Structure 1
Amino acid sequence: MNFKQRLTLKFILQLAVAGLVVLIIAAVTVSWMFKRFNEINIARDFTSAGLPQLVQSSQLGKDGIRFAPSLLEQVKKNKGWLQSLDENGVVESAYHTPADVPMRYGTGELVAYWTGTKPFPYHLALWIQEKDGRLFTLVYGVPNQLEPLLNEISKATIPTAEGKLKLPDSIAGKTKVAKAFVQLINSEGVELASYNKPNAVPSKYTVQELALRTMYAQQYGYHIVSSYDEQTGRTWLIGEPIPGGGNSSKATLIPEETQVVIVGSAVMIAVVLVLFMLLSLWQAHRFGAPMLHMLVWLDSIGKAVYKEPVDRNGLHRSRTPTGKWRRRYRVFSDVMVSIEKLSAALQRDQTMREQTESLREEWIAGVTHDLKTPLSSITGYAHLLAEPAYAWSQEEVHKFSTKMLDKSAHMDMLISDLAMTYRLKTGILPPETMEIELNAWLHEALQQAAADPVYGNNRIVFHAAPIDVITKLYTPWLERIVNNLTANSLLHNPPETVLTVSVLAREGSSGITIQFADDGGGMDELTLNRLFERYYRGTDTVSTSNGSGLGMAISKGLIEAMGGQISVETTPGEGTVISLIWR
């Protein structure tokens, strides 16, 4: 299996696992939503939603019938009670049943209580269902104190002119014990009078709002019972707080089911986002680490280090101590083998280049040796011509000897330059440096350079730094650099070219820059790119020593050997700026 196939298979498997986990999260979320819907239905209408589940969850044991604890807890929250009857109306099991509730019902007695034909202090609900061959009869009751209290209030209460209801002391006591409130509204739903009304209860109702508050009491926080008087068109309202009910001051028309969907969806999205973040981190560890290792390896190759990077223990990250691929590197094995081959090839090329460079340097050393042999002959011949025993005229003798001495000096300079380039290539270090004040030293060096009649007059301008610049440099090298750059600017530009030399330094900064700026003809891109190559300009033995073709290469090498760097900016027809920078 090749690299592409292995990588494709890895991603397919990971996406499949991630998709499966997302489906599981979605299934858990939907299951939770249905469970909450069921709980909301039970809390909202225990008669039709809770009683059937009581039968479904019932278990018949030695101790009698046992129901689900959560459903029995809901009965208690509703301030209700529960009984299970046999076929003869005898209570088999009971839960939270008050003392005033019978433990046995006659044939017609239970129906009379249920239909309201016989007074009973509780609202009753019946549920009869067969399960496992047994007929279950459940009786569920909740206190019925609001309706009787409302009947008493509507008959004995008189509204006052101040919009208050004046209740008899006995009725007012019952109302306060029940923590209830009373309202009287007209046919338009506007409140005429009230008693003990909380601030959260409105003073005006629409048809829809009164219906919603009656239907969704749990959501609004109050259970409301109303009585409509056909003769006056007025409606009496009585309400009591529901423990754990919603905040009626911020009543909402959004059903609880919708809230459950919103919460469930938000939680599912959050969990999926966390899952994908963790998956991304795992992917970064699984695939990112090998890729980063390969990038570091390639970067090392770019720096001429042709070995695979190792960890702090000196071991290859991609392999085990036995030499096998580590698990997360296996998928990239083909790529890493190719990098290994590339490293080996580049290592061979580097070795060959080093051998070639060694041979070239040896050749240069041979050339310098060969050049010194004729130099000795020329020097001896020049001294012979200078002897008065020969029949040369004084003018001829002087002329020939001067030329031969000049050529010998030029050859000697060439040999010295070749030797210097070789030493710079091998990493020469400057001798012991000396501390100088750069402004004064450079001004004196430029005056000596300007004294050369070849340059002409007034062609060098010096600008010192505004502060004393104390630094440590090897002055013989620096003097040679100054001479080389001065010659390069004044000899290879028009005669009217002016060279401006400036020292740039600031108070509190350790950086120093010496800038050589001329207003000559500048250089084209080709010349700029090859400016520091040895022998690029080329010359013959007629040229002066300043034109040997090695000056700029030597200057660059000396600058770098003293810990600095050189930069060049030039524009054809406008001039050139060469900067010597020490940071």
Structure 2
Amino acid sequence: MNIKRRLTLKFVLQLAIAGMVVLLIAGFTIFWMLQRFVEISVTRDFASVGLERVVESSVLGKEGIRFAPSLLEQVKDHDGWLQSLDEKGHVENAYNTPQDVPTQYGPGELVAYWTGATPFPYQLALLVQEKDGRLYTLVYGAPNRLDPLLKQVSNGTGAADDKSLVIPDALAEELKTAHAFVQLLDSSGVELNAYNKPKEVPSQYSVQELALRTLYNDRYGYRIKTSYDEQTGRTWLVGEPNTRGNLGTKPWMPEEVTVFIRGSAVMLGVLLILFVLLSLWQAHRFGAPMLHMLVWLDSIGNAVYQEPVDRKGFHRSRTPTGKWRRRYRIFAEVMVSIEKLSTALQRDLATREQSESLREEWIVGITHDLKTPLSSITGYAHLLAEPAYDWSQEEARKFSATMLDKSAHMDALINDLAMTYRLKTGILPPVTMEVELNAWLEQMLIQAGADPAYGMQRIVFHAAQTDVWATLYTPWLERVVNNLTANSLLHNQPDTILTVSLWGSEDGSKIMIQFADNGNGMDEVTLNRLFERYYRGTDTASTSNGSGLGMAISKGLIEAMGGRIAVETQLGEGTIIRLIWQ
């Protein structure tokens, strides 16, 4: 799997995991808010909501019915009590039940208390529900303080006139104990008189406001009961706090909104922390390797090719055993490519330094080779120009021939140097011509074999079986043939034989000229540097073919004509050089 697919898979997998975590956090937050909403509903109206929760959370064991402790605490907080009845009206289980509450009910007795037909100091709520094959009957009771107080006030116990409201001491004490208050309203809803009224309770009510405060007491913090006098058009109002804890204070924000804001804030905070942690992890997982690679590339730009190491001298990308570290493993291909680039640049630097050294050595050698024949030419010229001597015509011709030979040597050296730079710039053959290689190559080898420096009958030619036609620049090919012939016959033993063979296809698409000798051969170092410029120097005792540039020029000329050179050699057994066009 390549790096593109690995990175794509990694990022998709991470996004999927992050999305799942976000969904889990959101789901947990929504679940918590729903639970809180239910708890708020139970707190506000335990009689209708709480009883169902009691049945749902109840567990039937050997000792009877057991209820959830949290719900029982809600019963206690509302000053309520709870009873569980069997089918005959007997109390099976009870919680926080006062002494004045019966422990057994007749069929009509419970209904009379529930409907209010029989006076009872508690407001009752009944729930009959089947669970696990059993019929539950739960009775929830809470103190009924408002109805008795309203009855006393409206029946004349609280006397009222236009200026004051007279409350008996016993009733006043009862109102203060219950933190209750009394208001007397006129026909338009304006307060005439009040007793023990808190500051937050209004002094005037509209029809809508009084109805809303009666139905939705949890919004306003007080439960109220009213009694309307048809004769006077006045309304008696008795109220008490919803719970004893807040004493009727109205919250500045609904509890549901508070829960929603709190849950949303916690969820956003957790998501922010998760995002920060994920960013830090991503920076550690992907940022550190990328920074390491950038530092490495910057080092390469400064000619430092080794991979950066940590304080202990170990590579950051690998373990002490040489394996990739986990966070670097995904970038293994890039790291390997940088390593290859570093190695190649380091090798090229070494090659350039070596070539520079060889070039300097060659310049020293070629300078010596040029100065030596130049010294000979200068010496003979001084001899000829010296008036003290009277040279014969034969001696003058001898001096001139030597000078011409040395001049030709110098000219060959200069031409070779110029040719190497021309080949380096990528020159093309000036004018190509079609030639039949069997006859042309045989003629060139006859001319080369006539050189006295080579000896007699040391070149053997094997022509192709059919005519071989090729389009080439023959002066360049002639120079290559002379260079290869000189290398084989001058740098081996005097009895070395050079065998030249020609092969070619009828259409001229494939041609091969092979130069094979049975001489000394070459070692691996010489073979690897055979076509390098400046590899060898020479002296004035050698011919122009010994300039050290012959093989480099031959390779360049063959490649310029569309061919290539292949070399096979073995030390002590000879060398085979093939010129190939295909």
Query: TM bucket by the smaller chain?
Result: 0.5 to 0.7
The equivalent residue for 2:31 is 31
In structure 2, distance between residues paired with 1:168 and 1:195: 11
The equivalent residue for 1:43 is 43
**Displacement after TM superposition at 1:234 (Å):** 2.6
**Displacement after TM superposition at 1:192 (Å):** 2.1
The equivalent residue for 1:132 is 132
Q: TM-score normalised to the size of structure 1? A: 0.58
Please tell me the residue identity of whatever aligns with 1:52.
E
- CA-based RMSD: 2.9
Matched, 1:293 2:285: no
**Displacement after TM superposition at 1:220 (Å):** 3.1
Please tell me the residue identity of whatever aligns with 1:335.
V
Q: Is the CA contact (8 Å cut-off) linking 1:219 and 1:246 kept in structure 2?
A: no
Q: Is the CA contact (8 Å cut-off) linking 2:36 and 2:259 kept in structure 1?
A: yes
Does the residue aligned with 1:108 lie in a helix, a strand or coil? helix
Structure-2 change in CA distance of 1:207 and 1:303 (3 Å): farther
**Displacement after TM superposition at 1:188 (Å):** 3.4
In structure 1, distance between residues paired with 2:289 and 2:61: 64
Please tell me the residue identity of whatever aligns with 1:198.
P
The equivalent residue for 2:565 is none
Q: Is the CA contact (8 Å cut-off) linking 2:179 and 2:247 kept in structure 1?
A: no
Please tell me the residue identity of whatever aligns with 1:179.
H
In structure 2, distance between residues paired with 1:74 and 1:116: 25
Does the residue aligned with 1:60 lie in a helix, a strand or coil? strand
**Displacement after TM superposition at 1:16 (Å):** 1.1
Please tell me the residue identity of whatever aligns with 1:156.
T
Structure-2 change in CA distance of 1:33 and 1:249 (3 Å): closer
In structure 2, distance between residues paired with 1:264 and 1:53: 23
Does the residue aligned with 1:179 lie in a helix, a strand or coil? coil
- The number of aligned residues is 366
Q: TM-score normalised to the size of structure 2? A: 0.58
Structure 1, gaps ≥5 residues long? 367-583
Structure-2 change in CA distance of 1:192 and 1:364 (3 Å): farther
**Displacement after TM superposition at 1:321 (Å):** 1.2
Does the residue aligned with 2:231 lie in a helix, a strand or coil? coil
In structure 1, distance between residues paired with 2:54 and 2:266: 31
Structure 2, gaps ≥5 residues long? 366-582
Q: Is the CA contact (8 Å cut-off) linking 2:50 and 2:71 kept in structure 1?
A: yes
Structure-2 change in CA distance of 1:257 and 1:151 (3 Å): same
The equivalent residue for 1:169 is 169
In structure 2, distance between residues paired with 1:365 and 1:165: 132
Summarize the alignment of residues 296-311 of structure 1 with structure 2, pairs less than 5 Å apart.
Answer: 296-311=295-310
Q: Is the CA contact (8 Å cut-off) linking 1:33 and 1:264 kept in structure 2?
A: yes
Structure-2 change in CA distance of 1:362 and 1:223 (3 Å): farther
Structure-2 change in CA distance of 1:47 and 1:359 (3 Å): same
Matched, 1:19 2:9: no
**Displacement after TM superposition at 1:159 (Å):** 4.1
Please tell me the residue identity of whatever aligns with 1:147.
D
Q: Is the CA contact (8 Å cut-off) linking 1:114 and 1:125 kept in structure 2?
A: yes
In structure 1, distance between residues paired with 2:252 and 2:217: 11
In structure 1, distance between residues paired with 2:165 and 2:80: 31
Structure-2 change in CA distance of 1:357 and 1:203 (3 Å): farther
Please tell me the residue identity of whatever aligns with 2:249.
S
In structure 2, distance between residues paired with 1:166 and 1:13: 78
In structure 2, distance between residues paired with 1:45 and 1:360: 102
Summarize the alignment of residues 403-414 of structure 1 with structure 2, pairs less than 5 Å apart.
Answer: none
**Displacement after TM superposition at 1:165 (Å):** 2.9
Does the residue aligned with 1:300 lie in a helix, a strand or coil? helix
Summarize the alignment of residues 172-211 of structure 1 with structure 2, pairs less than 5 Å apart.
Answer: 172-211=172-211
In structure 2, distance between residues paired with 1:292 and 1:87: 79
**Displacement after TM superposition at 1:360 (Å):** 8.6
Does the residue aligned with 1:248 lie in a helix, a strand or coil? coil
Does the residue aligned with 2:331 lie in a helix, a strand or coil? helix
Matched, 1:152 2:138: no
Structure-2 change in CA distance of 1:204 and 1:248 (3 Å): farther
Does the residue aligned with 1:269 lie in a helix, a strand or coil? helix
The equivalent residue for 2:570 is none
In structure 1, distance between residues paired with 2:225 and 2:356: 106
In structure 2, distance between residues paired with 1:360 and 1:186: 121
**Displacement after TM superposition at 1:231 (Å):** 3.0
In structure 2, distance between residues paired with 1:222 and 1:195: 15
Summarize the alignment of residues 521-536 of structure 1 with structure 2, pairs less than 5 Å apart.
Answer: none
Structure-2 change in CA distance of 1:177 and 1:246 (3 Å): closer
Q: Is the CA contact (8 Å cut-off) linking 1:220 and 1:246 kept in structure 2?
A: no
The equivalent residue for 2:281 is 282
The equivalent residue for 2:495 is none
**Displacement after TM superposition at 1:361 (Å):** 8.7
Q: Is the CA contact (8 Å cut-off) linking 2:162 and 2:192 kept in structure 1?
A: no
Does the residue aligned with 1:311 lie in a helix, a strand or coil? coil
The equivalent residue for 2:503 is none
The equivalent residue for 1:248 is 249
Q: Is the CA contact (8 Å cut-off) linking 2:181 and 2:238 kept in structure 1?
A: yes
- Share of identical aligned residues, percent? 68
In structure 2, distance between residues paired with 1:243 and 1:82: 19
Q: Is the CA contact (8 Å cut-off) linking 1:219 and 1:247 kept in structure 2?
A: no
Summarize the alignment of residues 62-73 of structure 1 with structure 2, pairs less than 5 Å apart.
Answer: 62-73=62-73
Matched, 1:273 2:272: yes
In structure 1, distance between residues paired with 2:208 and 2:332: 72
Does the residue aligned with 1:127 lie in a helix, a strand or coil? strand
Summarize the alignment of residues 58-137 of structure 1 with structure 2, pairs less than 5 Å apart.
Answer: 58-137=58-137
Q: Which has the larger radius of gyration?
A: 2
**Displacement after TM superposition at 1:46 (Å):** 1.5
The equivalent residue for 1:394 is none
Structure-2 change in CA distance of 1:357 and 1:222 (3 Å): farther
In structure 2, distance between residues paired with 1:215 and 1:299: 77
